[in-house]
Amino acid sequence: TPRKDIVPHISVRRTPCKTPSKILEHARARLHVSAVPDSLPCREHEFADIYTFVKSKILDGTGGCMYISGVPGTGKTATVTEVMSFLRKEVDEDKDFPEFTLVEMNGMKLTEPHQAFVQILKALTGQKATAEHSSQLLDKYFTSAAGRKQPIVLLVDELDLLWTRKQGVLYSIFDWPSRPKARLIVLAIANTMDLPERIMMNRISSRLGLTRMTFQPYTFKQLQSIVQSRLEGLQAFEPDAIQLAARKVAAVSGDARRALDICRRATELAETAQPTGKGKGPLVGMKHVDRALAEMFSSPKIVAMRQASRQEQIFLRAIATEFKMSGLEEAPFEKVLIQHISICRLEGLHPPVVSEVVAVCRRLASCRLILLESSTNELQQRIRLNVSQDDVMYALRDHGE
């Protein structure tokens, strides 16, 4: 069968996107994660650091590496992209500032680590080659500066995915900047701070050098100012509501995307809520943010246990009882079965047959409320709870009788 048949594509949008008309719709459009603002608040210091690093290397005509780390949602990629666009603008304005080539690459978008070579070669020269061949070509390219004047900035996002057993890709990427004529500046972005020590061989981490930068998680004040800066000139939120969202997110992860998502959800909730009598239109208040937070942070497991069928609840209780009796956190299916049947008898229910209990057990396992081993030994199969025993007791407390 021809391969051409199965090319994935996204169907074309029939109706154009709605342009926001109301205040809350405006707010929602601005709060969207994709609406990156021109200047990132609360990252001025990091911006300056990266900017001076790249600029000095470009002006000197040398190469170097910088390793940038930080938990997700702290603005690493956004800051680096902003630095690049700023430099690009400077090139356009300032005649003395040298031109540079920017190569962007994301480890997540590669099917295989060695594809990095193919991508870089294509971005630099437009050539297409196999991974091995392009690695050789790139080696030659960076060793001799023949016919090339511009410095190159290589931006590698999600660095940890370029890891291979021999670490050849990582080695090459960090070895090229140290070549005398390469004039290559590598900006590597990853999530963990100790990645060079953890997964890289010594000769790679030493080539990476000591220019490292860590993006700290946002504090609640920073998160608050990020949200506020996006909502400038819009009367959509109560200030306390933003603070609540910021404080909650900062306490858990300090992820800006999470804070924006919660605020967006809160606008949706405010829109569906009954309009208050005041003429100014709906304002997002504390209670909307609170509901959005509850939706996003609370675990659905307790809800799932409350909504489960009676036999499923009895099975969960049987597991908890068995754990309490044996004092272990694991029980074979046959023992839980005995407990299950005795609970049924106590409650005056007709005890189910083994096949039915197996079906109940399988259903609970498929929604990951309990964990099962591999499927070989049926009655001896060991069962563990994926929630704490207290949660089971709490969820089934008022449903038990």
Partner 1 sequence: MEGTTASEMEDPLSILCRQKQIALLRSLMGEPSHPTYPSVFIYGHAATGKTLVVSTLLKTLALPHAFVNCIECQTTRQLLDRILDRVANHEPSPENNYCSLNRCENMNTFVRLLKKTTEDRGIQNQTVYIVLDKAERLRNMDGNILPAFLNLSQLSGCNVCVLLLSQIVWEKFLFGFGSNHVEPFIIHFPDYTKGELLEIIATDCPEGYSVEFYSSYVNLLMSIFYMVCRDLNEIRHLAQLNFPKYVEPITKGEASEKDSHKLWRNIEPHLKKALQTVYLREVTSEQWEKFQRAETGQPGQQTSQPGILSARAQMELPFYSKYLLIAAYLASYNPARYDRRFFSKNHGKVKKSAVNRKKETSHQLLGPRAFPLDRLMAIFYSIVDSRVAPTANIFSQISSLVTLQLLAQVGHEDQLDTPKYKCTVSLEFIRSIARTVGFDVIRYLYDFVK
Residues that bind partner 1 (CB under 8 A): 1, 354-355, 358-359, 362-363, 365-366, 372, 374-375, 378, 381
Q: Are 242 and 270 in contact (CB under 8 A)?
A: no
DSSP character string of 233-264: T---B-HHHHHHHHHHHHHHT--HHHHHHHHH
Q: How far is the CB of 70 from partner 1 (least distance, A)?
A: 36
Q: Which is nearer to partner 1, 109 or 368 (CB)?
A: 368
Q: Which is nearer to partner 1, 303 or 359 (CB)?
A: 359
Q: Comparing C-alpha atoms, which of 345, 72, 65, 103 is closest to residue 185?
A: 65
Q: Which is nearer to partner 1, 296 or 365 (CB)?
A: 365
Q: Which is nearer to partner 1, 276 or 366 (CB)?
A: 366
Which residues have CB under 8 Å from 314's CB, separation 6+?
A: 340, 343, 344, 347, 349
φ and ψ at 114, to 5 degrees? -70, -15
Q: How far is the CB of 386 from partner 1 (least distance, A)?
A: 13
Q: Which is nearer to partner 1, 271 or 373 (CB)?
A: 373
CA Rg, the chain, in Å? Answer: 28
Q: Quick check: helix, strand or coil at residue 65?
A: strand
Q: Which residue is listed with tokens 């021809």?
A: 2
Q: How far is the CB of 8 from partner 1 (least distance, A)?
A: 13
Please tell me the distance from the alpha carbon of residue 197 to that of residue 193, in angstroms, as a whole number. 9
Q: Are 103 and 121 in contact (CB under 8 A)?
A: no
Q: Which is nearer to partner 1, 27 or 361 (CB)?
A: 361
Q: Which is nearer to partner 1, 272 or 355 (CB)?
A: 355
φ and ψ at 315, to 5 degrees? -65, -45
Q: How far is the CB of 316 from partner 1 (least distance, A)?
A: 16
What is the CB neighbour count within 10 angstroms for residue 228?
Answer: 15
Q: How far is the CB of 102 from partner 1 (least distance, A)?
A: 39
